[in-house]
Chains A and B, each alone.
Chain A
Amino acid sequence: MRLTFHIWRQPNTGAPGKMERYESANMNPDMSMLEALDVLNEELMGKGTEPVVFEHDCREGICGSCGFMINGVAHGPQSKTTVCQLTLRHFKDGEELYLEPWRANSFPVLKDLMVDRSAFDRIIAAGGYVSVPAGSPQDANALLIPKTEADRAMDAAACIGCGACVAACPNASASLFTGAKISHLGLLPQGQPERNERALRMVRQMNGEGFGQCGNIGECEAVCPKGITLENIARMNADFLKASVCERPKSGAAEDAA
């Protein structure tokens, strides 16, 4: 099978980039998109051209490393599929493909199709956790959690942090990512003590990173490889609103420390 690729080449964050055109006749419909790039890269290196840089690791759709735009769609045409599991059988022989990195100010391009998503880590660091030191918990079954709640928390927790939601959003909003973590922990009893603080800090961090506001367009949900739903953004907004209204200066902190 023959494909023509137009791929964004950019040597580093500061340098200008441009689309380059490559052709390969050595494609196979059973290959994944990343294997197609492997084959293309081997061909490029044979000609002395530097290979296309793209991020990838597990290649089974769970680590969240990979992702780029294919013909303007984050992760390409197949729903709930990352580019590492997207096979070429979804494309026609002779088709032209346009591959571009995630586009968002908060995700600077590092090289070619690779971007810097460290803003996501900083959003999690701002409260996307339950503060529980190793060794302190009670027996796991002492806490009963209704199956429906646990299942809904799991739905939200399935986020792989790939960044497709940001790339697909016209405002480059990170609301789906942030909302998924706020929902996952907020739906569980373990997450209640820090629920308000979490919503305040994570949303403020998200805004501080320069992500845009959510306009309820739903592009994020449409491209999410794990099917994270807009409902999570609604939960984030509700938690943030409630926490903002309830926010008071911290009390007793000085005595605690003493």
Chain B
Amino acid sequence: MKLDSRIPGGPIETAWDRCRFENKLVNPANKRKYEVIVVGSGLAGGSAAATLGELGYNVKCFCFQDSPRRAHSIAAQGGINAAKNYQNDGDSIYRLFYDTVKGGDFRAREYNVYRLAQNSVNIIDQAVAQGVPFAREYGGTLANRSFGGAQVSRTFYARGQTGQQLLLGAYQGLERQIDAGRVTMFPRTEMLDLVVIDGKARGIITRNLVTGAIETHVADAVILGTGGYGNVYYLSTNAKGSNCTAIWRAYKRGAAFGNPCFTQIHPTCIPVSGDYQSKLTLMSESLRNDGRIWVPLKQGDKRSPSQIPENERDYYLERRYPSFGNLVPRDVASRNAKAVCDEGRGVGETALGVYLDFGASIQRLGEDKIRERYGNLFEMYQRITDENPYKVPMRIYPAIHYTMGGLWVDYQLQSTIPGLFVIGEANFSDHGANRLGASALMQGLSDGYFIVPYTLGNYLAGTQLDKVSDSAPEFQAALSGVQDRTKQFLNINGSRTVDSFHRELGKIMWDECGMARTAQGLESAISRIQSLREEFWQNVKVLGKNEEINQSLEKAGRVADFFELGELMCRDALTRNESCGGHFREEYQTPDGEAMRDDDNFSHASAWEYQGDNVTPVLHKEQLEFHYVHPSQRSYK
């Protein structure tokens, strides 16, 4: 496998213009002759399907939910970044680019990130034109806030529901194309394999989640916008259905997997309350703008927070990072929360939590102002915990939130399989080793509205695509593979439920491949995952049959893939002998406990190539070059 990033080269400011000009175009009259499959209907998939339909392609769009409007993008709360500089506070495309490369701890491709920053301004224009009701000032202009460690106010938001409103914008555009007959929607349909013919992606195999029908779909190109794989940890902020199956099947068909160990842990989530916990709820990190994070100075201090006087509190972020304080990036905030809890200073019943205290802000600004800014978040917190955050500090703890890793793609967002494009969180993306807040929505929409519509055309116009049908042996083999696997799940008839395996896998991943990792822990995780996986295939219990709605069967397929991906994540973490962004290897830290990058040996993106089941995959490296933002130690002190 050869990795060709297809970066246009030359000045970064005009690279995307040159690329667009050099890309071939499909004649408008010919577009309707092409069949394009889009899997996933979130910000990336939904916006791509709508845009490609608008351009005139024949699009089939698939989602496992009952409606494309439910994709997990909907849950994003805080906002979307754009380099509009509406606040006149010194922002620019170059600054957003710089912040993103630096925030990603110099593990992202400069040219991609620059393009993302450029597209950010068009996204806001597009969303406003669609009727997305962003927050506004009294004069009628758009409002902005500073978010997640940025020193400029470039984040656009719609209350705490920015993802919902942007997704509804894309969804409504998609429904318009469905109404016009240009997009055919397949809800409640899950992709279970990719079909590759003559080295090109030519279709997918799906299961209808209502009837159980396993079906073939032929196409000229396949686009995956299937989101991230945070649910490998069982507990995460991801929706329960979010899974890695589509990208994992593509990996097993030859698409390289990029940086699988780069996962993001979000610092402000509601702590776990018991064994029955099914997911973790994020509290928008915009709360850190006005909330102060602290723990007691003394270990095991069980007094209620109001009983602990100021001089016995440790505002550890303000103490360690005086210039950024509570607004340090997500990876730094998360790691520090873990550190103080490891010291025995955590709060709450489980002692796995820290306080996020609005007392000082309420005193300064008044309760009404705080209610106006965060009212819905405070309500949500109270609904879940039964505590009133206006009176008692919130308790928060980090949780798995986002995966920067994903399928490796070149500048055209094409994977190592020609004709397979990967967009949004599903690709290994523009965020390097750590994603900045309010950048996920930006990337999903940039990929879907403004990149893949151009690069797909270039592929189709420049590629000889022979006619194929689903009677091709590749289709038939993939189809019977999926059928056999489905039967296998139903026939094992063991004694443990899918969820019990998933929880155990998640625990291993969280303990050994979570916020802090060691070579020893990762090695032990790999062997524990392997034996758990073996047990799964011997002893999992899936009741019911295929020809009906069978949620256990759906979960079994997803968890089976999580086992394999989890192992690859550990392997990737084990080979990356450095600490960068969300990847913190305890062996590689500065004396004061900060992440220590090793640019001489690890300034690359890893790209893993599948070699067969139970065979160690091969690691390829894409060397990263930094011509504009020179790698430095990220310092938020």
Q: Which A residues fall within an 8 A CB radius of B? A: 11-12, 28, 30-32, 34-35, 38-39, 42, 45-46, 48-51, 53, 55-65, 78, 81, 85, 87, 89, 110-111, 114, 116-118, 120-121, 124-126, 128-141, 143-147, 150-151, 153-154, 157-158, 160-161, 184-185, 188, 190-191
Task: Tell me whether B172 is interfacial, beta carbon within 8 Å.
Answer: yes
Closest 3 CB pairs of A and B: A144-B140, A137-B129, A129-B172
- Contact across chains for A153 and B499 when beta carbons are under 8 A apart: no
Question: Which of B29-37, B198-206, B275-283, B471-479 is found at the contact surface with chain A?
Answer: B275-283
Task: Tell me whether B465 is interfacial, beta carbon within 8 Å.
Answer: no
CA distance A131 to B386 in the complex (A): 44
Task: Tell me whether B176 is interfacial, beta carbon within 8 Å.
Answer: yes
CA distance A238 to B610 in the complex (A): 60
Question: Which of B156-164, B213-221, B354-362, B589-597 is found at the contact surface with chain A?
Answer: B156-164
- Further contacts, 8 of them, CB under 8 A, given A31-B274, A62-B75: A34-B278, A45-B543, A51-B552, A87-B386, A126-B179, A132-B129, A137-B128, A137-B129
Closest chain B CB from A122 CB (angstroms): 8
Q: Which residues of B contact A114 (CB under 8 A)?
A: 549
CA distance A135 to B87 in the complex (A): 24
Question: What are 14 A-B contacts with C-beta separation under 8 Å?
Answer: A30-B273, A46-B497, A58-B75, A60-B75, A60-B281, A63-B65, A85-B384, A118-B67, A132-B130, A134-B449, A137-B128, A145-B136, A154-B133, A190-B129
Task: Tell me whether B541 is interfacial, beta carbon within 8 Å.
Answer: yes
CA distance A58 to B230 in the complex (A): 13
Task: Tell me whether B7 is interfacial, beta carbon within 8 Å.
Answer: no
Q: Check A143/B128 contact, CB under 8 A, given A45-B497, A55-B66.
A: yes
Q: Which residues of B contact A128 (CB under 8 A)?
A: 172, 175
Q: Check A58/B239 contact, CB under 8 A, given A118-B187, A129-B173, A134-B453.
A: yes
Chain B residues 130 to 164 lying within 8 A of chain A, measured CB to CB, are: 130-131, 133-142, 158-159, 161, 163-164
Q: Which residues of B contact A151 (CB under 8 A)?
A: 133, 136
Task: Tell me whether B1 is interfacial, beta carbon within 8 Å.
Answer: no
Task: Tell me whether B606 is interfacial, beta carbon within 8 Å.
Answer: no
Task: Tell me whether B70 is interfacial, beta carbon within 8 Å.
Answer: yes
Closest chain B CB from A9 CB (angstroms): 12
For B, the interface residue count at a CB cutoff of 8 angstroms equals 80
- Contact across chains for B175 and A124 when beta carbons are under 8 A apart: yes
**Contact flags B359-387 to A (C-beta < 8 A → 1, else 0):** 00000000000000000000010011010
- Contact across chains for A132 and B126 when beta carbons are under 8 A apart: yes
Q: B126, B133, B172, B543 — which one has the most chain A CB atoms within 10 A of its CB? A: B133
Point out the residue from A31, A146, A184, A190 that lies within 8 Å of B276, measured CB to CB: A31
- Contact across chains for B131 and A64 when beta carbons are under 8 A apart: no
Q: Which residue of B lies closest to A158 (CB)?
A: B161
Closest chain A CB from B81 CB (angstroms): 14
